[in-house]
Every structure is written in structure tokens, then in C-alpha cells.
């Protein structure tokens, strides 16, 4: 980090963390989400064209709705002692992220109503079909780029 960034972080009372090249476990929570959401829903391809960017921009809001409204998760709440006497993690009951926010009581009534309306207006089957269509489009675009690269390599070897 350079001194300008350090000064800005200090004046804004932020906690700055560092990551190192080739140390993927420096920020394991981000890496977990990259594997769980980004690579699962958008795969491992390299996207660098305007068309791919447009498909990704259409994909992410749909993935976020599905993850937040329809995918229950568990959260670690502490530790408990197993039968063998070892300390193991204890988890709460599965709950969607949207439900967790509802349970906190911090949402204003208009926000709660908007979230409830989004839930009731969303057809999970149609949402999943749309996500699948966008994923297939990403695969087609990646395949087309790969085929073009292979043909360029063959042309270079022939020349």
C-alpha cells in the first residue's frame, strides 16, 4: 500500500487488510464466495468482450435473487462438545439471507413489503431457467473464442 492509500484509510477509520500474490487463503471468506457463487454460476472462463460483459450483467442480479431469497444457509453460532469430548462447531437452523434480515427487525415497513413482494413475484422455476439460458450463452461465447484461438494457432503453424 502506498502512503496516500494508508493516509486515506487512516482518516476514514477503516481497517486495511493485505493480500499476497499466490496466497489464495489470505482472504478465505472472499475465496469461498468466489468458488461458491462466481465460479459455480459463471464458470472458470475468461470474459473480456462486451457481449460477455452484457451477459454477466444480466446474470448477476438473477443469481443474487436466487441466493438471497431461495437458498438457505447455516451460520456458525459457537461451539459444542461432541460425544467423544471434542469441541465442534454449532450451527443454527437453515435460513435464507432474506429471512435473516427480516428476523433482525432492522428493516423499515416499506423495505419489508418490497422484499415480500419480490419474493411472491419471483417464479423460482422461471428464474432458474433464465439463469441457465444465460449460462449457456456464456459457454457458447467462450467456446467461440476458444475455436477462434485454435484456428489462429493452426494457421500460425501452417504459415
Alpha-carbon span 134 to 141, nearest angstrom: 11
Q: Which residues contact 85 (CB under 8 A, 6 or more apart)?
A: none
Residue 53 reports pLDDT greater than 80:
yes
**What integer pLDDT is reported at residue 14 of this predicted model?**
86
Residue 30 reports pLDDT greater than 80:
no
Query: Which of residues 32 and 121 earns the better pLDDT score?
Result: 121
Residue 17 reports pLDDT greater than 80:
no
Q: How confident is the model at residue 116 (pLDDT cuts 50, 70, 90)?
A: very high
The arithmetic mean of pLDDT across residues 11-18, rounded, is 83
**What integer pLDDT is reported at residue 1 of this predicted model?**
60
Q: Which residues contact 155 (CB under 8 A, 6 or more apart)?
A: none
Q: Which residues contact 6 (CB under 8 A, 6 or more apart)?
A: 16
Whether 134 contacts 59, CB under 8 Å: yes
Residue 22 reports pLDDT greater than 80:
no
Q: How confident is the model at residue 54 (pLDDT cuts 50, 70, 90)?
A: very high
Average pLDDT over the chain, rounded to whole? 90
The pLDDT tens digits of the residues spanning 91-105 come to: 999 999 999 999 999
DSSP string, 69-131: HH--B--EEEEEE-TTS-EEEEE---B-HHHHHHHHT-S-HHHHHHHHHHHHH--HHHHHHHH
Alpha-carbon span 120 to 70, nearest angstrom: 11
**What integer pLDDT is reported at residue 2 of this predicted model?**
79
Whether 22 contacts 48, CB under 8 Å: no
Whether 66 contacts 135, CB under 8 Å: no
Amino acid at each position: 500500500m502506498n502512503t496516500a492509500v494508508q493516509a486515506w484509510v487512516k482518516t476514514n477509520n477503516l481497517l486495511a487488510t493485505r493480500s499476497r500474490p499466490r496466497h489464495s487463503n489470505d482472504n478465505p471468506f472472499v475465496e469461498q464466495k468466489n468458488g461458491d457463487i462466481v465460479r459455480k454460476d459463471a464458470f472458470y472462463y475468461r470474459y473480456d468482450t462486451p457481449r460477455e460483459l452484457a451477459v454477466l450483467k444480466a446474470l448477476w442480479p438473477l443469481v443474487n435473487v436466487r441466493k438471497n431469497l431461495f437458498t438457505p444457509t447455516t451460520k456458525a453460532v459457537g461451539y459444542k462438545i461432541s460425544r467423544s469430548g471434542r469441541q465442534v462447531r454449532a450451527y443454527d437452523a437453515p435460513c435464507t439471507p432474506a429471512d435473516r434480515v427480516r428476523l433482525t427487525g432492522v428493516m423499515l415497513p416499506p423495505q419489508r413489503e418490497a422484499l415480500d413482494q419480490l419474493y411472491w413475484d419471483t417464479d423460482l422455476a422461471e428464474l432458474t431457467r433464465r439463469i441457465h439460458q444465460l449460462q449457456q450463452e456464456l459457454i457458447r461465447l467462450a467456446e467461440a473464442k476458444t475455436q477462434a484461438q485454435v484456428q489462429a494457432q493452426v494457421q500460425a503453424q501452417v504459415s
